[in-house]
Chains A and B, each alone.
Chain A
Amino acid sequence: MIPQTFEYTAPATLDAALESLASGERKLLAGGQSLIPLMKLRLAAPDELIDLGHIPGLNEISEAAGTIHIGAMATHHAIETAAAIRGFCPLLAETASRIGDVQVRNMGTIGGSIAHADPASDYPAALLALEARVHLVSQRGERTLPYSEFLLDAFTTALEPDEIVREIEVPVEGSSEGYRYEKHPHPASGFAVVGVAVRVQARGGKITMGRVAVTGMGPHAFRDEGVERLLLDGASISNAVAVLGEGHDANSDTYASADYRRHLARVSAARALTTAISRVA
């Protein structure tokens, strides 16, 4: 309930934050919805917290030239409700709306969430399906990489110790695209036991584009290109999802065994696809 002692700084600029980050056992504090509970349980004990919340300009959401730019400090609530996201990237808005609960969404940020990389978090499925990119900054410079290369494993990303997530870039979804984030939440924590994010384009009853990404099932979210290929080949939904997760480990815990999780992922994918196809304009 009471964390170990720590120093707290709230830099006013990104440069000041990057400078603090360059040395020592420091942790960045974004929305605090993952970090603070860990600190209260004394599972995490950083020497210093660098609070990004006072740095202006880190939470802006804008659209330019077919790309939506989402500042790392944008809250889940902002993403759920921003006109630009609801209009151009509704899959992300729908995914954000399923995170945790109202209080968590008011505080939690997309940058904090993806840096923490909890296997049961919601964004990874959507970001993989959307082929998002992540923009990182450090004192050494800046770099951008596909989200699929940013997310490596459970709680493991390509983020270097001196880097901060600056922005997430998402290409604007096609206006006739169908989408759906289908989630089976854990009854206690609200985390995704499984969550499947789907985007489809279809013409004349045939799928012309499909993206299927799964979170919660295994140690990290993944895009299932096997399912996507079958869909493009004209397979039925049930035949396509039958191969979902092949070659991927499934987690097992007291709520759901690996077998059930795998099954749930297939059921969720099928339902997500059905809904997404019905939403194709």
Chain B
Amino acid sequence: MATTTIKPQTLVGRGIRRCEDPRLITGTATYLDDIKMPGMHHAVVVRSPHGAAKISGIRTDAALALRGVSAVFTGADVAHLGPVPTAASLPGLRVPHHHLLAQDRVYYQGHPVAVVVASDRYIARDAADLVEVDYEPLPAVTDPEKAIAAGAPAVHPEWPDNTAFTYHQEGGDAAAAFQQADVIVTQRITSQRLIPVAMETRGVVAEWRPGEKSMTLYSSTQIPHLMRSLVAGILGMPENHLRVITPEVGGGFGSKLNVYAEEALVAFVAMRINHPVKWVESRRENFQATIHGRGHVDYYEVAAKRDGTMLGLKLKIIQDLGAYHQLLTAAIPTLSVLMMPGLYRFKNVSADIVGAFTNCVPTDAYRGAGRPEATHGIERMVDILAAELKMDPAEIRLKNFVQNSEFPYATATGLSYDSGNYAAPLKEALAQVDYPSLRAEQERARAEGRLMGIGLSTYGEICAMGPSPAMPAGGWESATVKIEPSGKVTVLTGASPHGQGEETTFAQITADELGVPIEDIMVVHGDTATVQYGIGTFGSRGTAVGGAALYYALQDLKAKIKKFGAMLLKTDAVTLANGACLDEKSGNSASLAQIATAAYVAKELPPNTDPGLVATRFWEPPNFTFPFGAHIVVTEVDRETGQIEIRRYVAVDDIGRIINPLLVAGQVHGGVAQGLGQALWEEAIYDDTGQLVSGELSEYAIAKAASMPWIESSHTETPSPVNPLGVKGVGEAGTIGCSPAVVNSVVDALSHLGVRHIDMPLTPEKVWKLIAQGGRA
């Protein structure tokens, strides 16, 4: 056996290009709409155009008469099936029964009323127009504060107060803190309803095999295994007869972390018509019927001493839930409460949430899921307090940060922050922008009448979801690593990456651990028949939890490899390096291929060892992880038009250990793009009759490449002790840090004109009006 002396080149920490990208950018990947099957039919969903209405009749004859139409199903056909599930559970939570299709009432524009099936998508679309539904419009309410006020129309007749739940949480003694305060600042802050706008809309293909009574569902989802369990429940089908396959997913951002009526509906249709069925959402349907994000009206109060020490925090959240609960709807604002203290040492907190039903599509997780709202709120309040006390916003933050010596830090909201070095990213960001010079420049600009603003946010976030006791349906993750007889490696991850690049990250980790070339590794995910049960990809958990499970599976596998290596080399101890086992004494080595062959051919087995070379681990994280960072944004406001120019964007994010800097940069950029969208351009607007007037991309302004500033992205690296990789997670951090930095910057630009706060989005007219009115809205 030959010896090898190749110097190892570790991949972890290197910005190698993604393994996924060649197929994605050459159009050879398979997305849901690429799936074609013989005899495949097409389904189109008929949806309510009204925000609230009674259905007094449905006539399907005209649609059924159209040549090529095979079936039309309405509410009566699916009333016996299970409801769309919610996994959020809160004391006293009122859960309206969420049928797959509307029964006698519709509750939001886009509410599915019927499904038409035809031999091709064109006929199906035409037939959908022929379904006649008699609606009696009802008064609707789309503003959450109005919904819980007296006299509002009842969204669900059984609960005229439109309140799905109330929630209270406190820590320490907020009342006392407020009594002792020198200064109290209060502010109403909104985080407006947003539309996630994944580039690929939702879609489902269902293939039913009546002989085997088996169903294969293809869905553009973030959670194939959870979806399988829940959809099996809705259909009353044995779980082990349902297979869910996730093709390439063109973005999710949380909007596909869900179980939707259409997923069960398309399966039901396939069983009834005995043909495969495909349903793909149009953009307008996506806007109306895929969950929205955010939807907060928050009332903040901060109590402080004159020297800037913050003593207490009170928060009341009015959460716009929409008309129903989707998977995590009611749980999202509880994440805001958990993170309300941010990076600061608040010992005394008090929070209340009111969950309001509205005649809108439900809200649920969207990039940050409760944490952008909380961060936006506390970061605005810190700036408001700083302005009140005439303190520099960086100084007041440094004064109130949790100190390095205090980790792990127990927050007043019941969390344990894993590790942190909060001053480091802030100081680094301040140095990068040369903060004192910026302030001097601002003075000069003001003297010239120009409106220049410097805004910062120092954010903390909770991710790597999470310890199962705190999660609705499990927070562990799974990994299987197989070495095939030829020595090639297959990794099966229960996480379900949908653009994050885990095929690359996991290959890097595996390549380093086993010492094999990255080309020999295949990472598989998104098939419940092939991959062991997993929870999915969301909450910035892919690498921090999924990667940790992979790491432990690799350690198990390495132990077994060494046993076989020792057996083959007839020695006691071997080292594993560069894809081979080496006997240091003799200098002999056995390659991974040789070891794998031996393990499968099994002519000889080490003592107490089974044949084969596979390891599976289900890993339960002991805690969440807590990334943090500082964003600094320099803006200039056009006094005459209110338009905002971002002159500089600096982000220093600490996301723990960095496995692939290229992927991390991508996450930061994408996160900032969506944060900017919220701060400057986006808002899901329902009029007060329930019409979604921001109903297309021509009305709803998302970030485009041409509208983005240059992002100067850098990092500090404080490893997390929670997982062996030291990774914290980065998927949502950029979004969380962004919006408060932008708004703080614009308020700073206008503060000398009397402006104290502006709610997002910062449209030019809004800004112009504030300037014209000297700060009073």
Residue ranges of A at the interface with B (Cβ–Cβ < 8 Å): 1-2, 4-5, 37, 41-42, 184, 186-189, 254-257, 260, 263-264, 267
Contact A254 B699 (CB under 8 A): yes
Interface residues of B in 260-310 (CB under 8 A from A): 282-284
B residues near A1, Cβ cutoff 8 Å: 125, 282-284
Shortest Cβ distance from A2 into B: residue: B125
Contact A41 B122 (CB under 8 A): no
Does B685 touch A at the CB level, under 8 Å?
yes
Does B693 touch A at the CB level, under 8 Å?
yes
Contact A188 B125 (CB under 8 A): no
B residues near A42, Cβ cutoff 8 Å: 129
Interface size (B, Cβ < 8 Å)?
Answer: 29
B residues near A2, Cβ cutoff 8 Å: 121-122, 125
Cα of A278 to Cα of B80 in the assembled complex, Å: 74
Given contacts A5-B126, A254-B685, A260-B768, are A188 and B641 in contact (CB under 8 A)? Answer: no
Contact A187 B681 (CB under 8 A): yes
Shortest Cβ distance from A263 into B: residue: B768
Cross-chain contact of B126 among A4, A255, A264 (Cβ < 8 A): A4
Contact A189 B283 (CB under 8 A): no
Contact A188 B701 (CB under 8 A): yes
A188 to chain B, nearest CB (A): 4
Cα of A272 to Cα of B122 in the assembled complex, Å: 48
Given contacts A2-B121, A2-B125, A189-B699, are A257 and B283 in contact (CB under 8 A)? Answer: no
Cross-chain contact of A41 among B284, B680, B685 (Cβ < 8 A): B284
Most buried by B among A187, A189, A267: A187
Contact A267 B641 (CB under 8 A): yes
Given contacts A4-B126, A257-B765, are A264 and B701 in contact (CB under 8 A)? Answer: no
Contact B768 A187 (CB under 8 A): no
Contact A188 B284 (CB under 8 A): no
Contact A188 B699 (CB under 8 A): yes
Contact B693 A254 (CB under 8 A): yes
Cα of A1 to Cα of B285 in the assembled complex, Å: 10
A residues near B697, Cβ cutoff 8 Å: 188
Contact A188 B698 (CB under 8 A): yes
B675 to chain A, nearest CB (A): 16
Cα of A257 to Cα of B768 in the assembled complex, Å: 12
A39 to chain B, nearest CB (A): 12
B758 to chain A, nearest CB (A): 15
Cα of A122 to Cα of B389 in the assembled complex, Å: 49
Interface residues of B in 729-777 (CB under 8 A from A): 763-765, 768-769
Does B640 touch A at the CB level, under 8 Å?
yes
Shortest Cβ distance from A194 into B: residue: B641
Cα of A186 to Cα of B685 in the assembled complex, Å: 16
Shortest Cβ distance from B698 into A: residue: A189
Shortest Cβ distance from B640 into A: residue: A267
Cross-chain contact of B641 among A37, A41, A189, A264 (Cβ < 8 A): A264
Given contacts A1-B282, A254-B694, A255-B763, are A184 and B641 in contact (CB under 8 A)? Answer: yes
Does B700 touch A at the CB level, under 8 Å?
yes
B residues near A186, Cβ cutoff 8 Å: 701
B residues near A254, Cβ cutoff 8 Å: 685, 693-694, 699
Cα of A138 to Cα of B94 in the assembled complex, Å: 66
Q: Which 8 A-B pairs have the closest CB atoms?
A: A188-B701, A187-B701, A1-B282, A189-B698, A260-B765, A2-B125, A267-B640, A187-B681
List 29 contacting pairs A-B, 8 Å CB cutoff, sorted by A.
Answer: A1-B125, A1-B284, A2-B121, A2-B122, A2-B125, A4-B126, A4-B129, A5-B122, A37-B698, A41-B696, A42-B129, A184-B641, A184-B764, A186-B701, A187-B681, A187-B707, A188-B697, A188-B698, A188-B700, A188-B702, A254-B685, A254-B693, A254-B699, A256-B765, A260-B764, A260-B765, A260-B769, A263-B768, A264-B641
